[in-house]
Amino acid sequence: MFVRRVGTTIGGVTEFGAADAAWAAAHVVVVGAATVGLVRVADVVASAAALLDGLSDAERNRYADLAPRARRDRFLVGRTFVRQVAARLFDVSPSSLSVDAQCPDCGGPHGRPVLVGGPAGVSISIAYSADIVAVAVSADHVVGIDVEIAGSRAEELSALAVGVTASSGADALRTWTRVEAALKADGRGLRVDHSAVEFDRVDDQLIAAVPGDSGIFSRFAITDVDPAGLASPAMVSLAVRFP
């Protein structure tokens, strides 16, 4: 588990140590106001029974409803991993935390994830692609994260990214991770037209602007996170809402 900070800050990213064998393969870094975690499902899901015991009743019900098995495994690891990262950050037991994800439209368990049992104002985000789970936690800033594996959905995402690639200044897959991270931080996700997201740079910081229902834009700082330590061509983007 992540018990201490080690190493030095380089480009705003600080490595954490991993002392717990179950999560030794996890990659956890501090990126500005957020802590980001990356892990391969295959590296931790062998302890699935123990992980499942840590879920709330509602989460276990959601887990049981998911198919195929790969989706269940990603869900299980994502919910457990975000708890582990948050618990270490706030010095509490993971068992004291749960994740609620009620949809504001239909009331189903697939809405924006919210940490229950932690300090007030904490924001979390969870993303999956193939065998990779990414999480983000912040004590005082709203965050969104997205991860995509090169080649996994390249054709589909290239089509989705049309219209925003030029302003993002990146290829289609990278653009999509930035857009989805911003939309997750916004809270409305794909209910917002992805092509309406605009990008600009302010003092070398990439900014995503997401239009609100009233026409006022919300702004998010975008950081592309290095997936070092994962033997996978993953692209990871973090969005942090401006105060």
Give a yes or no: residue 7 inside a domain.
Answer: no
Give a yes or no: residue 98 inside a domain.
Answer: yes
pLDDT of residue 79: 95
What residues make up the domain containing 230?
13-241
We report the CATH number of the domain holding residue 237 as: 3.90.470.20
Give a yes or no: residue 1 inside a domain.
Answer: no
Query: pLDDT by residue (tens digit) across 34-54?
Result: 999 999 999 888 877 788 888
pLDDT of residue 49: 74
Give a yes or no: residue 28 inside a domain.
Answer: yes
Give a yes or no: residue 8 inside a domain.
Answer: no
- Amino acid 90 reads F
For 44, residues 6+ apart whose C-beta sits below 8 A from its C-beta are: 22, 23, 25, 26, 51, 77, 80, 81
Give a yes or no: residue 57 inside a domain.
Answer: yes
Query: pLDDT by residue (tens digit) across 155-177?
Result: 566 556 555 554 555 577 888 89
Beta strands in the chain (DSSP E): 13-15, 27-31, 34-40, 98-100, 114-116, 123-129, 132-138, 143-149, 198-202, 205-211, 217-225, 234-241
pLDDT of residue 240: 97
pLDDT of residue 155: 55
Give a yes or no: residue 117 inside a domain.
Answer: yes
Structurally, the chain folds into a number of domains equal to 1
For 156, residues 6+ apart whose C-beta sits below 8 A from its C-beta are: none
Q: Show the tokens assigned to 163.
A: 């219209």
Sites in the chain below the pLDDT cut of 50: 1-19, 166
pLDDT of residue 164: 55
* Tokens 């229902």 -> residue: 213
Give a yes or no: residue 5 inside a domain.
Answer: no
